[in-house]
């Protein structure tokens, strides 16, 4: 069973439907024991970083996230669910994240993107640097769907799985041990995104 963490923010039903279309049982939950009992865990997210961190804390979910990752079970972060894994974000001032992956979440800025529309919204391509199991069927250069104004900057560049160009090269997914996390939305990326959810649902601890 796959637990999709409900902390009041995120495209939860579409993520659940994506897994179900691929034949994987998935439940939307904010019960820590359900998350801890699940074989795989998904942290989705849409919204503002500090609000999401506050909700995780208020619902008592931070411990379940940390213990799930520490247990070695497959863990998927989507969009803000990727950013929350990092040390801190500069969205609305400096906000502390879960600090599971060292690094920062920063806004698109600088001369390279000054003439581009922010948020970065729509289809863009992936440059695969390392291939986690979830990207088994994803050819280099494949297009996936993005909606975001901030991007992650990991301290350890070896965790980078893919990058994407939007006036500048930014990290579009990371892979560290049992964690795979994407800035893009697999659940909105049509057949290619569904294949990512399928392969994640088949990953073993």
Q: Which residues are catalytic?
A: 79, 185, 187
- Alpha-carbon distances, residue 26 vs 4, 38, 101, 142 (angstroms): 7, 9, 26, 26
Please work out, in degrees rounded to the nearest 5, the angle formed at the alpha carbon of residue 184 by the alpha carbons of 121 and 97.
Answer: 105
B/e letters for 25-44, b = 16+ CB within 10 Å, e = fewer, are ebebbbbbebbbebebbbbb
- Alpha-carbon distances, residue 73 vs 52, 81, 98 (angstroms): 23, 16, 17
What phi and psi values does residue 138 have, to the nearest 5 degrees? -105, 110
Tokens of 3: 């637990």
């Amino acid at each position: 069973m796959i637990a999709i963490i409900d902390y009041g923010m995120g495209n939860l039903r579409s993520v659940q439907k994506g897994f179900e279309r691929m034949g994987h049982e998935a439940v939307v939950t904010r019960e820590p024991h359900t998350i801890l009992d699940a074989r795989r865990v998904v942290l989705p997210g849409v919204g503002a970083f500090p609000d999401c961190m506050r909700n995780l804390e208020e619902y008592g979910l931070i411990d379940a996230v940390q213990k799930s990752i520490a247990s070695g079970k497959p863990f998927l972060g989507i969009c803000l669910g990727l950013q929350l894994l990092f040390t801190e974000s500069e969205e609305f001032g400096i906000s502390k994240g879960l600090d599971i992956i060292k690094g920062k979440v920063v806004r698109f800025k600088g001369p390279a993107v000054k003439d581009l529309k922010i948020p970065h919204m729509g289809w863009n391509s992936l440059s695969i640097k390392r291939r986690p199991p979830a990207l088994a069927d994803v050819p280099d250069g494949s297009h996936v769907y993005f909606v975001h104004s901030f991007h992650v900057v990991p301290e350890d560049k070896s965790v980078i799985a893919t990058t994407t160009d939007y006036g500048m090269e930014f990290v579009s997914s990371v892979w560290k041990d049992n964690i795979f996390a994407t800035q893009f939305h697999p659940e909105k990326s049509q057949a290619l995104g569904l294949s990512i959810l399928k392969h994640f649902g088949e990953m073993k601890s």
